[in-house]
Amino acid sequence: MKRKKLNVFSLSFLDIITCGLGAVILLFVLINAKSAAHRDTLTSDYRAEVSRMEKQLLDDKKNMIQARNSLKTIETDLVKMRGLSRRIIEILNKNKVELSDSSKKTLAAKAHVNKLKADLKSLEEEVKRLRAGAKASDELGSKLRPFPGQGDRQYLTDLKMGGKRIFILVDSSASMLDETIVGIIRRRNLHLKEKLKSPKWKQVVATINWLTTQLPPTSKFQVYTFNETAGPLITGTQGSWLNAGDVDKLNQTVEHMHKLIPQKGTSLINALKTVHDMKPTPDNIFLLTDSLPTMGTKKPWGKRVSGKKRLGHFNDAVKAFPSKVPVNIILYPMEGDPAAAVAFWKLAKNTRGSFFCPSKDWP
């Protein structure tokens, strides 16, 4: 039997080679997959760090761009500020020059004022000399308003009409109608026109008329009337000062006094509250009254008020007087109130004011 020829590259050999190659490829795939998984495990932390750094880099770039924009804005503002600073320096230099000129003018003005003061003093001395050499004054003289007195009845009263702000308080209660209690009761029930004819009240009106002629022309004044309450004689002038140089206001004050009718009780403490409402406060006070107050801040329940109670109301009111202000009293005594004269005299003495009890034909 003929022996078969041996072929190295037979079909079986190729099968074996192919299977071996497949096994090698499979082994490579398995090894590569495992190494890739191991590599991913090892590099996952590094990839996260890289991602964070890339994000940080983007943020830094963004911040850098914003910083550049801000720098450009600051540089623009700096240029503007330099321009403004130059202008301010120029203005300051200009003001320095003007201030220097102003100082020179001020010195010249002061010298001129001193010269005017010297001239004024010289003129005042000349006026004094002329007044001393004059034989008689004219009818009005230095008074703001004329006052037709009875002969020479305007004698010395020691009333000090000085001061920059003169406050006059006039008692307009029913007791100002007469000197006696019976007369007060009788006149209180008369017709309004008859009340105005009361001799005692007419004397009070004449006193206000006289006082307005004695006010210093450069001073300010105010007239308040009071009974149970208090208010300005001229409506609408509450809390304000009037110019004594305004003759129309003086005449208007006297006209209102002629129309005022005494009535009701007397509260001195309510009247003094109005003094504190004046701003600035007065530096001279005139009080025209006839007796001690019959009530305090509120109206009493009963109709009768004892002398002791009235003196207590007066002492309470005295505490409300402003300190260091002279109080000048013009008292029209009333029957049945002997303590009034002593009390008001002490008030005038303690405040360095004057106390005056006029005769029936004054002023």
Q: Which CATH superfamily is domain 165-356 in?
A: von Willebrand factor, type A domain (3.40.50.410)
Helix (H) or strand (E) holding 8: none
> Which sequence spans correspond to the domains of the chain?
14-132, 165-356
Can you give the pLDDT of all 363 residues of the chain as single tens digits?
A: 555 555 555 667 677 788 888 888 888 787 877 776 667 676 777 777 888 888 888 888 888 998 888 888 898 888 888 888 888 998 988 888 888 777 777 777 888 788 888 888 878 877 766 665 544 344 455 555 665 554 444 444 556 678 899 999 999 999 999 999 899 989 988 888 899 999 999 999 999 999 998 898 889 999 999 999 999 999 999 999 999 988 899 999 999 999 999 999 999 999 998 888 898 999 999 999 999 999 988 887 777 788 889 999 999 999 988 888 999 999 999 988 889 999 999 999 999 999 989 888 887
- Taking the C-alpha atoms of residue 28 and residue 33, their distance in angstroms, rounded to an integer, is 8
For every residue of 286-298, which 3-state class applies, written as one string?
A: EEEECCCCCCCCC
Pairing type for strands 220-226 and 165-171 reads: parallel
Per the CB < 8 A criterion, the answer to whether 254 and 209 are in contact is: yes
Backbone angles phi, psi at 29, to 5 degrees: -65, -45
